[in-house]
Structure formats: structure tokens, C-alpha cells
Chains A and B, each alone.
Chain A
Amino acid sequence: MAAGAAGFAAFGPRGARSRADGRIVLDYWEKWTGHEGAAMQAVVDEFNQSQSRILVRYLVTAGIDQKSMIAIAGGDPPDVLGLYNYNIPLFAETGALLPLDEAAGSAMLPPLEAYARAIRPMLSHPDRSGRLRRWACPNTGGTLALYYNKSLFAQVGLDPARPPATLEQLGDFAARLDATTQGGRYSRLGFTPTEPGWWPWAWGAYFGASLTDQPCRRALIDSPEHVAAFRWIRETAERLGPERVNAFGSGWGNSYDSINNAFLAGQVAMVLQGPWLASVINTHNPGLDYGVVPFPVPASIADGQPIGLVESDMLCVPRGARHPDASMEFIAFTQQPLIVEKLSTAHFKNSVLAQVSPEFVAKHPNRGVEVFNAVANSPRGFRAASTRQFPQIRSKMGSLFPKVWNTDEPVEDLLRSTNTEVQSLLDLEYEQKARRGWKGGA
């Protein structure tokens, strides 16, 4: 058996690191598997077929932000990297990326104005002299909005054509949609912030809050707006009973992309989610009659503009990439409007560009694509704080939320102590940058 293993080891299959047909080979690390990965692979294939100098290899990578940092620091990076928008500040600041605005290929890239309003600021970040540089191009993006189940609305006597328009209405409608079994357990919830609960840090968005001030120097977690936001979470918890909700939802954690998804299964009637949910609906329960509307905000802060969280996947070029010009050429290819729309359609997502063609909207499989687009272009789009500390801020808010939801500790106190922690993170960042001679604030 040992001999067989040795034979396999010596002569077994090995990966193709480079090809012999004279093309430059680019390794493109991206996070998508399944049909999302297939859609990106199709774009890669189209690029490979459109010219004969460059061959791009699409490589799925788990834990991509971690692995790519390790690879870049280790001197063996990929040629094109697909990160999340909130990775950009750290990667740019520590010199892990090549700026896209001075390289030879930069003329090929669309100007910043071509991109959706809320996505534009994500593409640039100041360098150590305080100058704003461009670091990334978006390939797909997502915004959050409220999905609601029209059949369930009709069932309880709500008008399916009139979803909640204010936060107050959301609470009323949700209460009417709640249902319990004979034993007092929940069998349906109108709305709970814990499903999916993926953005515990973003609840301030709907109350006009910001995570930090503009140069990310001061933490604003305990601002009055945030207090209002988390008070609302606490009130919702008190109304619904957190243990009962948690018990009801204990299986949801692993069931997002399955028939057991809470929204698909009718266990929640309304859910705050991104455009990707439509893909899950399409796969597991295409008959579901759903609608999408911007998340309703308190009447006092509504101004007609949709409010929602905006996220984006980013393409960038790591420092140490062997063929940066070729990498830029590939990235520029992906930024063409037709390609962007094709990929976004396949991912069921909104477009990252400011302008969309009428066909995009007309043929899009996601019923709510216009809403998602509107949020992306809204001046009130809410983004991750553009500081390298954001992942830790996000983590701390992730610890804050269960305390607000499950306990009765005063909301202001919880926010204040989280704010102190976040502030010390920002202070540390400032201190470390000052030590290295950074200019232009945080």
C-alpha cells in the first residue's frame, strides 16, 4: 500500500501552474462557488476568448481576506483579487494593493462618476500623504431592502400592494402577521431583526446614524440616532420575547440556501435582505409571491430617498502581482456595462453602475431590482466605515446586538461601552499611523 501511495505521490495529477502556449497566466482569486461562481467563470471565459495574450484562471478561495493577506505578505500573491469593500481600507493602507489610478492601464477604467452613488466612495481611499487614490473596481454589489410575502399579507387582511412605508407601520403589520401555535410557541413572525441578523452593525442606518465621523476619528456608536435604533431593537425584543424568538429560529442559522429558509418557508413574513435572496427563492420556492420595498424608516427622518446598507465586491491588484498591466486589462474588461449587467443579472443582484439599460431592469429575474438599484444610487446609502478597524468594529457590534436583544441592560450603557471600545480602536489606529508619519488625519 505504501508503494502505491508513493507512486501516486510521485506521478499523480498536479495542478497546472502555468501554460505553455505563450500566454500570460493570471491567477484570479474570488470568493464565489456554485452558480455565482459559474457566472463569474463565464465572464472569465469570455475574456479569455476575446484575446490571445492573457489567460485568466478563476480560483475559488475560502476565507479570502485572510488567505490573500497571508499570500501578499508572504510574497506570493494572486494577480487579481476579489475582496469585500470593507477590506479595502486595511489592504490599501498597509500597502497590500497597487493603486489603479496611475498604472498604465488606468485609462481603460471607467471614471468614478460611472458608478452608483453609494458605491463610488468605496473605490478610493487616502494614502499616507492624504491623497485620495483609487484602489478597486466593483464587480457586483448588493443593497438591503425589505422583502415581504404577499400571500401572507393577503391572508391576514393586509393589502399586498401597500407594504409598510414607515417604521411604525412595519411594527403594526408585523404584529398582525405574528402567529402562535396552541402551545403558545411561535409558528410565524411578521418581522424579527434576528433573521437573518447578518448586519448587526447596520441598524443605525435606518435612524440616520453613522458608525464614525467622516475621517473615521471619532466613534459615534452611542449617538442619539444609534440609541434610537437600538431602543427600537429592544422594544421589538420585549414585544416578541427573545427566548421564544430564538427558540423558533434555532434552525435558521444553516438553512439560508435551502427550502428551510425562514422567509421561503413562511416562518417570517418580512425580512431585511439583499438581492441574493431572490436567487434562493428562485431555486427552492419559485412560486413564492414576494415584493420588495425600501426598508421603512421612522416618519421623522424619511425624506423620500431610499435608505439601505450598500455593499460591494471589489476587484483589485495585489502588490507583487507579476503582470499588473494584464491584471488591469482584465479588470477593465469586467467593468464594461454589458458585462456588469450580465454578471449582476446572473447573481440576481442590482447593478454597480449609475446608469442601467432598460433591458437590465426588464429582463432581471429579481422582482425588486429597481428598489435595490435605487438604494445603491441613493445619497442616503449606508456603508461600512472606511477604516481598517472596521472588521473589529463589526465584530464588537456583533457582540453588542445579542446583549440588546436578550438582556435588559440599559441600551445607552451598552452602546456607551461599545463606543468606548471602538473609540480605543480608532485611537490605536491614529497612534500607529502617526508613528509612521501619516498625514491627513486618520
Chain B
Amino acid sequence: MKLSARAKVDLAGYLWVSPWIAGFLLFMLLPAALSAYYSLTDYPVLEAPIFVGFDNYTRMWREPDFRDAALRTLLYAAAVVPLSTILALVLAALLCGGRRLTGFLRAAIFLPTLVPMVAAGMVWMWLLNGGYGLINQSLALIGVEGPNWLGDGPMVLVSLIIIALWGVGHSVVIYEAAMREVPPSLYEAAALDGMGPVARFWHVTLPMISPAILFNVVTLMIGSLQLFGMPAVLSKSNEGADPRAFTFFTNEMFSQAFLNGQMGYASAMAWVQLLFVLALTGLTFAVSGRLVHYRGG
């Protein structure tokens, strides 16, 4: 078989990309298709699935546990994404401009992201203990009565946001690297125009690293909507607390799938989660259209 030059190039290309294609088909497309199918069934996993049409999807919205978990997760993401981004940008700017101990400081900020979830959860669980935790004991030293951090829904949310901000190091490193890529000539020009440091940051730095910000924001958003491990670990801290306080979207999905024999319903939840992600990502991209400045090339 004689292949044209074009076809030879195509063949080579697909050959090189084939590992990913194979993985995509086996570990992404196939499970996704199965998941879509299961979402239309009643499937207790140990017995065969039975087709129920869109029952799972309609059932979801009637369930207070689902609405609660969804709302809780959205609130979490809505808080974490902006706060985390702002904090990361500020820290990255400081690292970029600082001269001393940069390596040490960067490592200190990045270090929390290296701690495994369970260990971090246990540490924070104890730090946040209402009566004996380090945080409240320190606050007591200065005469402030600390709240019961893991006592009820709103406080648990606040605690989880704090823990998320503790893990901001990942974004900081990426932003700092992007900031260092900005040509100094742009800053010089801006300074000549009479811009102070803050104005330079706003009008030069931010636009120049805007692709990195976009990428990070989207990644952060997707990650926040999938929050699972930390609330799962923290929920062990207080047997008597309202379990809903620790139940986020993925937690609810997980217990439905594996504890309640509702794999079909859980699959439907997963697809709704995907829709949320797509919608929010699309929104972000649309909004970013005018804000993100892509350098040529």
C-alpha cells in the first residue's frame, strides 16, 4: 500500500499520540459512557442495573441532602477561588520583588502543599479543636474567645477555606515564575510614565501573566468543586456534630455510591457535577476574553 506523503505524516502523528488515545478510550471515554448509562439506572453494584430513565436526575433536586451538598460546595468554591488567587498573587509579587531568603521563603510557602491529606487533616483537626486546639488556646492568651471551628456548618466551611488558603503555595510558585518572565523593559517604560509600584503591578504585571491566572483560576475552580478528602477526614473530629456540615458534593456522591447502594444515582450526580464544571469554566473563559492578554507567538 503506497501512502501519500500527507498520509505518512498523519500516521506518524497518530502513532506518537496513540498512548494518550488508548488511555483516553479505556480510562476516560469508556468509563464516561458507562457512567452516563448507569446514571439512567438503579444500580446497587452487587446486583444488575435496571433502567429507570431520568428518574435519578429528577430525584436529585428533590433531595435536601443533594441541594445542601451542592450549595455548600458552590459556596466553598466561590470563596476559595478569589481569595486563593488574590493571596497567591500578593505572595508571588512579594517573592518576585524580594531579595533575601527567597528560596527559603518560597519553600516555606510551598511546603504545606506537600503534606498528605490525611496528615494535614489530622493536624488541622487538632489545631481547630474548640476547647483544646492551639488556635483557640492562643486566642485565649490575648483574651479572645475563639469559635468552635468544627462545630457547625458555617464554621466548618470557614475552617476548610482556611485550610485551602494554607495550600496556596502551588499557585504562588506558578505565578512567581510567570512574573519573572515579564520583560523588565515594560516596567522601565511604565516607571518612566510615572506609574508607582501598585500601578505597575495592576497595569503591567497582571495583564502579562493573565494567561497563567486564567489557567490557575480554572484549575482551582475545578478542584474546589471536587472537594472530598479534607471534609472526610475532618468529619471524624466530632461524632455528635451535624454530618451535613462535612458533606460536600463528592462526599455525598461517594456515600450514595458505596454506602447506600445507589451507584446509578451517584453517577447522575457526577454528570451534574460535570455540567456545573463546564458551565462555570465556559463562563470564566467568556469573561476572560477581554481581560486576558496573550503575547504573540
Contact = CB atoms under 8 A, between A and B. Distances in A.
Direct A–B contact in the complex, CB atoms closer than 8 angstroms? yes
Interface of A: 65-66, 69-70, 72-73, 90, 94-96, 194-198, 200, 246-247, 249-256, 260, 319, 388-389, 391-392, 395-396, 398-399, 401-402, 421, 424, 428, 432, 435-436
Contacts of A73: 45-46, 258
Nearest to A417: B64
Given A196-B239, A399-B242, A424-B62, A65 B259 contact: yes
B245 to A, nearest CB: 9
A254 B129 contact: yes
Interface residues on B, range: 35 or more
B260 interface: yes
Nearest to A258: B132
Nearest to A388: B261
B242 A94 contact: no
Contacts of B241: 253, 398
Contact of A402 (B47, B65, B150, B242): B242
Contact of A253 (B59, B65, B239, B242): B239
Given A94-B44, A254-B129, A246 B238 contact: no
Given A250-B151, A392-B260, 20 more contacts: A70-B258, A94-B44, A95-B46, A194-B240, A197-B239, A198-B239, A198-B240, A247-B148, A251-B133, A253-B237, A254-B125, A254-B126, A254-B132, A254-B237, A254-B238, A255-B131, A391-B260, A396-B65, A398-B241, A435-B42
24 contacts: A66-B258, A69-B258, A70-B258, A73-B45, A90-B260, A194-B240, A196-B240, A197-B240, A198-B240, A200-B240, A247-B145, A250-B131, A251-B129, A251-B133, A253-B238, A253-B239, A253-B240, A256-B239, A388-B261, A391-B255, A392-B260, A399-B242, A432-B42, A436-B47
B242 A398 contact: yes
A94 B47 contact: yes
- Nearest 6 A-B pairs (CB), nearest first? A251-B131, A250-B130, A197-B240, A253-B238, A250-B148, A73-B45
Nearest to A95: B46
Interface in B122-142: 125-126, 129-133, 136
Nearest to B152: A402
Contacts of B126: 254
B23 to A, nearest CB: 21
A319 B133 CA distance: 44
Interface in B40-91: 42, 44-47, 50, 52, 59, 62, 64-65
Contacts of B47: 94-95, 436
A288 to B, nearest CB: 20
A400 to B, nearest CB: 9
A251 B260 CA distance: 32
B237 to A, nearest CB: 6
Interface of B: 42, 44-47, 50, 52, 59, 62, 64-65, 125-126, 129-133, 136, 145, 148, 150-152, 237-244, 255, 258-261
A387 B45 CA distance: 18
Contacts of B64: 421
Contact of A252 (B131, B242, B258): B131
Contact of A255 (B42, B52, B132): B132
B50 A436 contact: yes
A328 to B, nearest CB: 21
A124 B282 CA distance: 53
Contacts of A69: 258-259
Most buried by B among A196, A251, A389: A251
Contacts of B240: 194-198, 200, 253
Nearest to B131: A251
A90 B258 CA distance: 11
Contacts of A72: 46
B42 A253 contact: no
Contacts of A198: 239-240
Contacts of A401: 242
Nearest to B247: A395
Nearest to A62: B236
Given A253-B239, A391-B260, A399-B243, A435 B50 contact: yes
A90 B46 CA distance: 11
A398 B130 contact: no
Nearest to B52: A435
Contacts of B131: 249-252, 255, 260
B35 to A, nearest CB: 16
A73 to B, nearest CB: 4
A401 B244 CA distance: 12
Contacts of A95: 46-47
B66 to A, nearest CB: 12
Contacts of B238: 253-254
A65 B259 CA distance: 7
A320 B243 CA distance: 32
Contacts of A90: 259-261
Contact of A94 (B45, B136, B150): B45
A243 B43 CA distance: 44
Contact of B129 (A200, A253, A432, A435): A253
Nearest to B64: A421
A398 B148 contact: no
